[in-house]
């Protein structure tokens, strides 16, 4: 949601004192990567490489994505105004595709204005990479074109704030992107490029939710969509919905938020209702399904009919779980011991869910409304048993995760220390230990003793895992960065 967007990437003007501290840090010399709290091996997951990003130290980033067929990882890097590309096989930085607005600062506070910074959402299919920008535009990028000619289209969705999370159908011909920071929020359905050699992306329709479910003026949001090939529906996370439960506070009253969120099911082959999607209809398999004890940001389709949802106490302080929703029955399953996720990712290579949990509770099972009770971790969950396996500390505000299903390599960006970038930087020593540098990095974790799928031709893995993966932080009740 919009009002809490800044929680993980707040940035201020760096004072001379902070610059002095930064010089002191840099003067300490090179460090070894994958050390400290983030360098431990937990549940068969081990950090084994930190990939440096050239240019400005990482201060603000958003969604990341992996295309295992191309062997590439993509990161929406606002610090360098572009999408970074890392080769997932040799773990070398390849290039940054620029042209995005980068970091936009709040003129009153000097903090990063996440609602207008970019890039934000990122996804891909084949040669086509799609990125949302802070000025409400979609960038369509041809990865096979010369770097100077890579951006083929820049399309406005008609908003004044960022185009954020997005998802593609398995064949890459339809794309759904959410303008989460508009009031009221909306999504845009595009005709995408699929496997075409030339770009001809066009807008099909605008998608909204009924004012009875997402009232205007409360700063509510739409977050991460995911494509479910089984039901042929887009499932989009909604951090807070009105009257869930009846009489709850969604922002119309003072005090803590007490409403839970929901999931919007939308059918891309049928025009959306003019008044917006209402309550879920089992007849059409469309509409909003209310959740219990979950205000979700991220979403990712897992095995069977399960879709993992990144619940977050930044939306509702009492949301201290992670949840699954069955896309066929709409039944909800709760996973204890991990919460606070923005982007979530199902990795078919090892049948695990991975969570970019920037607001995990230090005391699991209890409300954690205060920042002092929240910490950033990489979480991992067994997709067979739906039980938490473990979690590994990350830099402050770490909220993005993606995995290469063929190599079982998990990519987690970490910000630079606060002494380098100011407010919004890492306030712990965790990121510097992982990165082996004070500039931030993309940490690469791997499954120890689990063979990758290098030779498998997983047809549904062209989009990383065949669906959309989450990152979300909305306004006051969503915390995607």
Q: How far apart are CA 229 and CA 152, in angstroms?
A: 28
Residue 359 in domain:
yes
66 bridge partner residues: 73
> What pLDDT, on a 0 to 100 scale, did the predictor assign at position 222?
97
- Nearest CA to 260 out of 278, 279, 245, 247 is that of 245
Q: What is the pLDDT of residues 119-158, one digit of tens each?
A: 999 999 999 999 999 999 999 999 999 999 999 999 999 9
Q: Is residue 305 part of a domain?
A: yes
Q: Give the pLDDT band (50/70/90) at residue 256.
A: very high
Query: Per-residue pLDDT tens for 177-191?
Result: 999 999 999 999 999
Q: With respect to residue 480, please indicate whether it lies within any of the assigned structural domains.
A: no
477 part of a folded domain? no
Q: What is the tens place of the pLDDT at every residue in 294-337?
A: 999 999 999 999 999 999 999 999 999 999 999 999 999 999 99
pLDDT at 451: 54
pLDDT tens figures, 94-103: 999 999 999 9
Q: For 465-475, what is each residue's pLDDT tens digit?
A: 434 333 333 33
Count of domains forming the chain:
1
pLDDT one-digit tens code per residue, 390-405: 999 999 999 999 999 9
Give the whole-angstrom CA distance, residue 375 versus residue 359.
5
Q: What is the mean pLDDT of the chain?
A: 89
Q: Taking the CA of residue 454 as centre, how many other CA atoms within 13 Å lie in the half-sphere pointing to its CB?
A: 6
Domain assignment present for 202? yes
Query: For residue 480, what pLDDT is reported?
Result: 55
Question: From residue 318, how far is each of 362, 364, 370, 476 by CA, in Å?
Answer: 14, 11, 11, 15
Q: Is the confidence at residue 31, as pLDDT, over 50? A: yes
Residue 466 pLDDT: 38
- Is the pLDDT at 58 greater than 50? The verdict is yes
In a domain? residue 300: yes
pLDDT for residue 211 is more than 90: yes
User: How large is the greatest C-alpha to C-alpha distance in the chain, in angstroms?
Assistant: 65
Q: Which tens digit of pLDDT belongs to each residue from 216-247?
A: 999 999 999 999 999 999 999 999 999 999 99
Instruction: Answer whether residue 78 is part of any domain.
Output: yes
Residue 438, both tokens: 């004070």
- Average pLDDT on 19-48 reads 73
Q: What is the spatial distance between Cα 149 and Cα 284, in angstroms, rounded to a whole number?
A: 43
Predicted pLDDT of residue 454? 37
pLDDT band at residue 84 under the 50/70/90 scheme: very high
Averaged over 419-445, what is the pLDDT?
95
**CATH number, domain at 440?**
2.130.10.10
- Each residue's pLDDT tens digit, 369-383: 788 889 999 999 999
Domain that holds residue 324: 5-461
In terms of pLDDT, which residue wins out, 191 or 362?
191
**Residue 469 is assigned to a structural domain of this protein:** no
């Amino acid at each position: 949601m919009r009002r809490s967007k800044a929680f993980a990437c707040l940035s201020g003007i760096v004072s001379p004192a902070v610059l002095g501290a930064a010089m002191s840090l840099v003067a300490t010399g090179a460090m070894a990567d994958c050390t400290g709290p983030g360098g431990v091996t937990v549940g068969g997951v081990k950090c084994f490489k930190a990939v440096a990003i050239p240019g400005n130290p990482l201060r603000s980033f958003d969604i990341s994505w992996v295309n295992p067929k191309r062997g590439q990882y993509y990161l929406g890097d606002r610090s360098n105004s572009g999408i970074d590309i890392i080769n997932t096989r040799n773990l070398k930085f390849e290039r940054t595709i620029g042209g995005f607005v980068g970091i936009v600062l709040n003129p009153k506070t000097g903090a990063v204005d996440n609602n207008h910074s970019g890039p934000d959402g990122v996804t891909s299919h084949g040669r086509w990479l799609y990125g949302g920008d802070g000025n409400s535009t979609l960038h369509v990028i041809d990865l096979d074109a010369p770097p100077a000619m890579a951006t083929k289209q820049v399309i406005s969705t008609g908003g004044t704030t960022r185009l954020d999370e997005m998802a593609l159908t398995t064949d890459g011909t339809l794309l759904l992107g959410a303008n989460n920071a508009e009031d009221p929020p909306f999504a845009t359905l595009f005709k995408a490029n699929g496997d075409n050699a030339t770009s001809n992306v066009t807008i099909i329709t605008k998608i909204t939710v009924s004012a009875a479910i997402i009232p205007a003026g409360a700063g509510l949001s739409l977050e991460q969509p995911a494509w479910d090939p089984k039901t042929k529906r887009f499932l989009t996370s909604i951090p807070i919905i009105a009257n869930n439960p009846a009489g709850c506070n969604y922002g119309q009253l003072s005090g803590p938020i007490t409403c839970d969120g929901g999931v919007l099911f939308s059918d891309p082959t049928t025009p959306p209702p003019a008044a917006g999607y209402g309550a879920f209809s089992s007849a059409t398999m469309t509409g909003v399904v209310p959740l219990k004890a979950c205000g979700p940001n991220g979403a990712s389709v897992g095995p069977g009919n399960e879709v993992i949802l990144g619940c977050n106490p930044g939306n509702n302080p009492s949301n201290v779980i992670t949840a699954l929703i069955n896309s066929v029955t709409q039944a909800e399953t709760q996973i204890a011991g991990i919460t606070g996720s923005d982007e979530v990712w199902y990795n078919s290579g090892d049948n695990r869910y991975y969570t970019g949990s920037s607001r995990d509770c230090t005391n699991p099972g209890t409300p954690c409304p205060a920042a002092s009770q929240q910490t950033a971790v990489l979480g991992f969950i067994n997709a067979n048993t739906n039980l938490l396996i473990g979690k590994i500390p990350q830099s402050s505000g770490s909220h993005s995760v993606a995995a290469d299903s063929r190599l079982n390599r998990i990519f987690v960006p970490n910000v630079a220390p606060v002494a380098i970038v100011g407010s919004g930087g890492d306030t712990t020593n965790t990121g510097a230990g992982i990165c082996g540098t004070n500039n931030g990095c993309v940490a690469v974790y791997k499954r120890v003793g689990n063979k990758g799928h290098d030779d498998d031709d997983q047809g549904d893995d062209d989009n990383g895992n065949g669906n959309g993966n989450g990152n979300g932080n909305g306004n006051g009740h969503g915390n995607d960065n």
